[in-house]
Structure 1
Amino acid sequence: MKSSMAASLLIALTILGVAIGGCQCTIVQFIFGDSLSDVGNNEYLTKSLARANLPWYGIDFGNGLPSGRFTNGRTVADIIGDYMGLPRPPAFLDPTLTEDTIMSNGVNFASGGGGILNETATYFIQRFSLYKQIELFQGVQELIRQKIGPTEAEKFFQQSRYVVAMGSNDFINNYLMPFSSDSRTYNDDSFITYLVGTLSDQLKILHSLGARELMVFGLGPVGCIPLQRVLSTSGACQQNANNLALNFNQATSKLVIELSNTLPNASFRFGDAYDVVNDVISNPSNYGFDNADSPCCSFGKIQPSLTCIPASKLCKDRSTYVFWDEYHPSDSANMIIAKEMIKKLGFPKVNQAGAPSPQPS
């Protein structure tokens, strides 16, 4: 009788993931980023001016309603995570988030308007900077430690995957703004030094919190987004903004290599998609696009910060536009970017089965 009870208890413990051998946890990912990776956090920041809750966002995702993503479909992180077999992490502010959800799906802390610097995009009123996202991650860690204990929690977080994809707002919605305090304090070189130095401190904090397998994504040609093109009478790309992105990528790539070589057990990698995005914009027909300089979702010549509003009109074929709105790529463009990243970096399959990857309608 006693042996039967003991066997039943062992089976139950195994199912709960706390067997004698340790935490039987799924490998999940924790995402830190801005609107290119946001999956709904800003929907719960009710005072934020950067929200993707208006009609047309998410039209090609799931049920066609706004998904919290600043595009018509999937983000690059969605697509790469699906390929690797990683579950799609829900937004940190999702009211249904629980410890069990965290352990089976991870968490996405990305926030539209967020930057590496705390002072970036203050006029959006509410957004999570990278420091704030790291603070929220620390709270998540405490919840998991309380649930499974410090030893198993440490294993869980060290086997997880991490993505940091930020920096474009620090230029577009900070340094390049005419009345920005940072634009008065720094020149191009010293601002990048300040920005990358701050990122270095943040990545070291993440490592101290258990991040071992971490990917830092670089910037694309930010001077070619539709919102930057309108600054030119000819509609051309803003080359100064593109040069800033290139120099940021170069400095960040060096930083990631250095940290990976010096931090214990760190496997940090840098993902650079600048060249492929630039080629898509320069030669759109080679990739099946008809338009690479204006958004699919627009309100004529009036160009607010987010163009998808009830009065906006959509292009006839969403799959042929590189940009969905003034800032963000379309699902089709994100697919090309993700495929290039997978090809360059050879992302390994992590779990046998991941989340579904819905294609655009």
Structure 2
Amino acid sequence: MKSFLVLVVVVLVVNVCVAQDYGDVTTATPPSNGGVSRTKELVPAMFVFGDSLIDNGNNNNLPSFAKANYFPYGIDFNDGPTGRFSNAYTIVDAIAESLGLPLIPAYSEARGGDQVRYGVNYASAAAGILDVTGRNFVGRIPFNQQVRNFENTLNQITANLGADDVGRSLAQCLFFVGMGSNDYLNNYLMPNYPTRNQYNGQQFANLLVQQYTTQLTRLYNLGGRKFAIAGLGMMGCIPSILAQSPTGKCSDVVNNLIQPFNANVKTMLSNLNSKLPGSKFIYVDIASMFRDILTRPATYGFKVIDRGCCGIGRNQGQITCLPFQTPCMNRDEYVFWDAFHPTSHVNVILGRKAFNGGSDVAYPMNIQQLAALDIETN
């Protein structure tokens, strides 16, 4: 309880400041935590919801096969393996630093004081928009439960400080949400799920976004106003899919499958901006950024774009990194860390582009501009 009180008290007194220039994202290298000197925060706090692309430890103590709290995960991170599915940073770590925030702690591990006052990460590996997604990994925290965990946080602080104070603070915080990958990889495309026989690609995208709309509206009703929603990336080009391809090339079938979802999400965010007073939802175009990296890898310093830095099987893509497996040495030159996840180098590039990029990567504004908005609450 004391930890949550500290969170809100600090949030109420933090002011928004002017952003600093973080340099050329094309030459970004994976930093370690604490590698960038923090300036004054651009938002009071950031709340994170998503899957393994941004999970930072919420699955560590779950009875789950979806875990990354062992080496070589975290090999380039000061704290070692934390549960991040990366050699160091995730995209939200890079965004947090760009916002002048410390790295956001996992909901399952945050204990109080300085650990939680700048936000909480609720993301969970294998989680999906649909509750049934990811059951092959056993334990995971679906998006609905992530929203309930956030609600539990608010219930504990609202009773002590009052809804008005909490509401004014939350309106200036950033809510980052990245969901949907597992609904395809660990649901629709899995042979032990009936989903593909029940829905065609467009119908499934419609189902997901209908549920997604309800979930995001719930976060709005709980006080969120500034939302950055990440679209799905080039999933047909990940090592896991390449390992199944007889040609070793990106799967157009998979890439085309997710296009209706991304299109629906863009329409959904436009509708939410119109219907929810005081809200501002932006779309972070992961597919566009990833396509540019894969098309022009040398521009970003990459040499290997079709296999994981660690893993087992063809293209290091059939099984993710095994405990204490020796990964590649030249990690900065790899786009993919394992069968499903990008390297920290890629995550830093994506995070910085989402922060200060143009309308081709973040629409209708970037995260820096979203952070600067002064949201009025009734």
Range class of TM-score, shorter chain:
0.7 to 0.9
Q: 1:281 to 1:249 in 2, by over 3 A?
A: same
Distance apart, 1:38 and its partner CA:
0.4
| Structure 2 counterpart of 1:61, from 77, 97, 104 | 77
Question: Which residue does 2:13 correspond to in 1?
Answer: 24
Q: 1:216 to 1:302 in 2, by over 3 A?
A: closer
Distance apart, 1:231 and its partner CA:
1.1
Question: Which residue does 1:87 correspond to in 2?
Answer: 102
| Structure 2 counterpart of 1:327, from 325, 340, 359 | 340
Q: 1:167 to 1:152 in 2, by over 3 A?
A: same
Question: Which residue does 1:182 correspond to in 2?
Answer: 195
Q: 1:139 to 1:235 in 2, by over 3 A?
A: same
Question: Which residue does 2:64 correspond to in 1?
Answer: 48
Partner of 2:351, secondary structure, is helix
Please say if 1:98 is aligned against 2:112: yes
Long gaps (5+) in structure 2: 1-5, 16-43, 373-378
Partner of 2:278, secondary structure, is coil
| Structure 2 counterpart of 1:70, from 81, 85, 91 | 85
Give the AA of the match of 1:170.
Answer: D
Partner of 2:59, secondary structure, is helix
Question: Which residue does 1:271 correspond to in 2?
Answer: 284
CA distance in 2, matches of 1:124, 1:173: 9
Question: Which residue does 1:354 correspond to in 2?
Answer: none
Question: Which residue does 2:274 correspond to in 1?
Answer: 261
Partner of 2:71, secondary structure, is coil
Partner of 2:171, secondary structure, is helix
CA distance in 2, matches of 1:257, 1:221: 23
Q: 1:156 to 1:244 in 2, by over 3 A?
A: same
Q: Which is further off, 286-295 or 79-88?
A: 79-88
8 Å CA contact 1:215, 1:271 repeated in 2: yes
Distance apart, 1:298 and its partner CA:
2.5
Distance apart, 1:88 and its partner CA:
2.4
CA distance in 1, matches of 2:224, 2:350: 25
Question: Which residue does 2:294 correspond to in 1?
Answer: 281
CA RMSD of aligned residues (A): 2.3
Question: Which residue does 2:35 correspond to in 1?
Answer: none
Q: TM-score, normalised by structure 1?
A: 0.86
Please say if 1:297 is aligned against 2:314: no
CA distance in 2, matches of 1:154, 1:267: 15
Give the AA of the match of 2:73.
Answer: Y
CA distance in 1, matches of 2:59, 2:331: 24
CA distance in 1, matches of 2:315, 2:249: 18
Q: 1:67 to 1:17 in 2, by over 3 A?
A: closer
Question: Which residue does 2:367 correspond to in 1?
Answer: 347
Q: 1:189 to 1:24 in 2, by over 3 A?
A: same
Q: TM-score, normalised by structure 2?
A: 0.82
Q: Larger C-alpha radius of gyration, 1 or 2?
A: 1
Distance apart, 1:118 and its partner CA:
0.6
Question: Which residue does 1:5 correspond to in 2?
Answer: none
Partner of 1:97, secondary structure, is coil
Long gaps (5+) in structure 1: 1-14, 352-361
Q: 1:160-199 counterparts in 2 under 5 A?
A: 160-199=173-212
Give the AA of the match of 2:154.
Answer: Q
